[in-house]
Amino acid sequence: MVGITETVLRDGHQSLIATRMRTRDMLPAAERLDAVGYRSLEVWGGATFDVCLRFLREDPWERLR
């Protein structure tokens, strides 16, 4: 069986708004993507940790939940 990893929640906002999308804004899309049945959702890029702390004032570890 082949599993697919969906990356739109990482690549989409990384390219369009410099990784500034808040976790709370991703949750509705994440729920729908989860219902599709992907093997995994990739929501973490190289700048995510830094952006969460410096610009979004979010706990980056909460995004992984």
Q: Where are the domains of the chain?
A: 5-64
Which residues make Cβ contacts (< 8 Å) with residue 60, sequence separation at least 6? 48, 49, 52, 53
Per-residue model confidence (pLDDT) at position 44 = 83
pLDDT, tens digit (0-9, with 9 covering 90-100), for 10-64? 877 777 667 788 889 888 999 999 999 999 988 888 888 888 899 999 999 988 7
Per-residue model confidence (pLDDT) at position 51 = 87
Residue type, 23: T
Residues in the chain, overall count = 65
pTM of the model: 0.70
Q: Can you say whether residue 57 is alpha, beta or left, with left for phi > 0 and alpha for psi between -120 and 50 degrees?
A: left
Per-residue model confidence (pLDDT) at position 16 = 66
Per-residue model confidence (pLDDT) at position 9 = 84
